[in-house]
Amino acid sequence: MAKSIRTAIIAAAMTLLLALGAAFTGLTAHAATSDQPTATEPKVNKTVNVADGITISDDAVFSVKQVPNADGVAAPATVADDTVSIPAASLKANTKVSESLGLAAKTTAVGEYTFEVKETAPADKTGTYGWTVDKTTYYVHVYVAQDNSHSYIVTEGTNTITDNKFENKVDSIDFTNTFTKEAGAFTVKKTVENDQYADADTLYSFTATFKESSTSGEVSTFINQIQVADATDKAVSGNAITFKLKKGETATFTNVPAGVKVDVVEAQATNVKSTTIAISSNGGATTNINGLDSGEVLLGENANTIAYTNTYQDVTLTGVATKIAPFIAMVAIAGGAVALYIVSRRRRDA
């Protein structure tokens, strides 16, 4: 009998230990979800993905609107709708910039509040270029204690929050937008010097090879949309556009994404002694280099120019005389024959 009682006690103790272990494991797992409020007021964070050569020109504006609490408990006070702005000048390319929501100052009465946070500006793009706006909705749950201490929980996509549902909880309010823009006027100019003995209809061949930016996507996604005016024999080949220009002509490229880079190479022309390339990127100062290859040039939102000047080799008079000497000899022979005929005729008539 005593043995049976002892066995029953041991079994009960083991069962209790297992139950406590399971409960402890459950508590540990529950704590690991970080579902408890934080004491730090969340900020709105904005990141703009934008390529080099583009200026961010629009403010980031977010609406902060009080909404009913998810658990049905009435808020202790009504808070007026508000907005939070980050000026364009404060936004840094591909860098997170933060601004306070200011909720602690607006929630002073003890109790629970919920606020919906959305981005309201700038406008989402409707064409090829512009803003791709983050449309995420966040809810900030604010709890004010008797000692006026504040605590917060942020959920994404829904304001539902109960003791058993924290899968929508996030640690921060992050909006990420992408801004794209068409490059400013991009031109390739052709000038020729010392070409008095060159054919005026000579076509000079060029190849413009494009390289994508951080936001433009693969070259294949935009190269076929690029338009080239005032050039001949235009063709797309892989990541490049080939074209030809005569002396004094300018090729104008449009619908090129700002931030991409281009490498323009001119084919060597006959009898050209040297070539100078004047390059101005994104409206900046002009740089002169020698050769046929411009190297990679950033096409920014301002004017972009790559101007080629070919200088022909000098043509000496000796070379000219050598080429026309046979014709001069023929004329001299003919003139001599005529003079001899005239003299002979006069002597015979005399």
Tens place of pLDDT for every residue, the chain, 350 residues? Answer: 454 555 544 454 444 434 434 333 333 333 334 567 899 999 999 999 999 999 999 999 999 999 999 888 999 999 999 999 999 999 999 999 999 999 999 999 999 999 999 999 999 999 999 999 999 999 999 999 999 999 999 999 988 876 656 678 999 999 999 999 999 999 999 999 998 888 889 999 999 999 999 999 999 999 999 999 999 999 999 999 999 999 999 999 999 999 999 999 999 999 999 999 999 999 999 999 999 999 999 999 999 999 999 999 987 655 444 455 565 556 556 666 655 666 566 666 65
- Return d(Cα 90, Cα 4) in angstroms, integer: 78
| Domains 35-180 and 186-312 equal at CATH topology level | yes
Instruction: Read off the pTM.
Output: 0.76
DSSP per-residue codes, 17-57: HHHHHHHHHHHHHHHHTT-S-BSSPPEEEEEEEE-TT----
Tell me the C-alpha to C-alpha distance, in Å, between residue 176 and each of 46, 51, 206, 277: 6, 14, 39, 40
Q: Domain extents for the chain?
A: 35-180, 186-312
Give the amino acid at 102. G
Tokens of 349: 């008539």
| Closest alpha carbon to 160 in 284, 29, 35 | 35
- Return d(Cα 312, Cα 274) in angstroms, integer: 7
348: number of Cβ within 10 Å: 7
| Closest alpha carbon to 280 in 289, 293, 292, 291 | 289
- Return d(Cα 246, Cα 230) in angstroms, integer: 10
- Return d(Cα 148, Cα 107) in angstroms, integer: 9
Domain 186-312 has CATH 2.60.120.260: no
Cis peptide before 68 (omega within 30 of 0): no
45: number of Cβ within 10 Å: 15
Strand 240-245 with 204-211, pairing: antiparallel
Tokens of 91: 């936004």
CA dihedral over 179, 84, 173, 120, signed as positive or negative: negative
Architecture of domain 35-180: Sandwich (2.60)
- Is 277 strand, coil or helix? strand
